[in-house]
Amino acid sequence: MLKNKLLIALAIAACSSAVMADDKIDYSFSVKVWNHKYKESVYSNNPSGTKTDNVNANILSVTARKGDYFVTANALTPTTYSFTNGSNLIRRDTDIALGYSLNSNISLLVGQKRLGSQLFYIDDESTTKSSLNIGYLGVNGFMSIREDMFLYGTLTKSYKTSDTTFTGFQNTEVGFGYVLNNKTQLTVGSRYQKLTSPYGTNLPGIIVGVNFTP
């Protein structure tokens, strides 16, 4: 019974959806690979819309927890999207969030994301750089389905952006986790991002990862 409780607690920590209730600071780390495509409903050179082939993006995360509170930081490493018109877009973003656990299954968070991009136009070899700051609110969920398996979900949605052209941002991730041992957990799920702008950007895909608890 003690072993089962330990495994479940580690799985919760890996999802950053709950916090161990003690006075010390606990840390967890994760590395995820997000296989997805970049889709726009409208594009200046292609009014019917455009999309890229699937690309892999690496997401690195670290979470520090104390009591019912936690702080988590994430970074998406530079990712290149190649469009059919020959243009390339390089995206990189980082975010940090503060969270509070309502109970062992649900936690709330508030955060700030910085999304940077660099677009290379093949026709005139020009480059456009831009950055977008996004304030967001979110909720994490966790449910154990047996001693070494769990389900998880995360929903974040913007409440403000630094550019009024971009009226909203939403990220949804749901998946399944497996506790490999008392320090390592594996996850697989679906991740979908939506950026409301003149182009109606959508980024759907699957995500796999590994979480470490020192």
Hey, which bits of 52-167 come out as E strands?
Answer: 55-66, 69-82, 88-101, 106-120, 127-146, 149-161
- Provide the whole-model pTM: 0.84
In the predicted model, what is the mean pLDDT of residues 121-126? 69
Burial-class residue 173 by CB neighbours within 10 Å (0-12, 13-18, 19+): buried
9 pLDDT band, cuts 50/70/90, is very low
Instruction: Report how far residue 184's alpha carbon sits from residue 7's, in angstroms, rounded to the nearest whole number.
Output: 10
Residue 128, both tokens:
């456009």
Q: Is residue 34 pLDDT above 90, yes or no?
A: yes
Instruction: Report how far residue 118's alpha carbon sits from residue 120's, in angstroms, rounded to the nearest whole number.
Output: 7
What domains can you pick out in the chain, each with its CATH number?
A: 2-212 (2.40.128.90)
43 pLDDT band, cuts 50/70/90, is low
> What are the percentages of helix, strand and coil residues in the chain, rounded to 5?
5, 65, 30
* Better-predicted residue by pLDDT, 175 or 166: 175
pLDDT on residue 163: 86
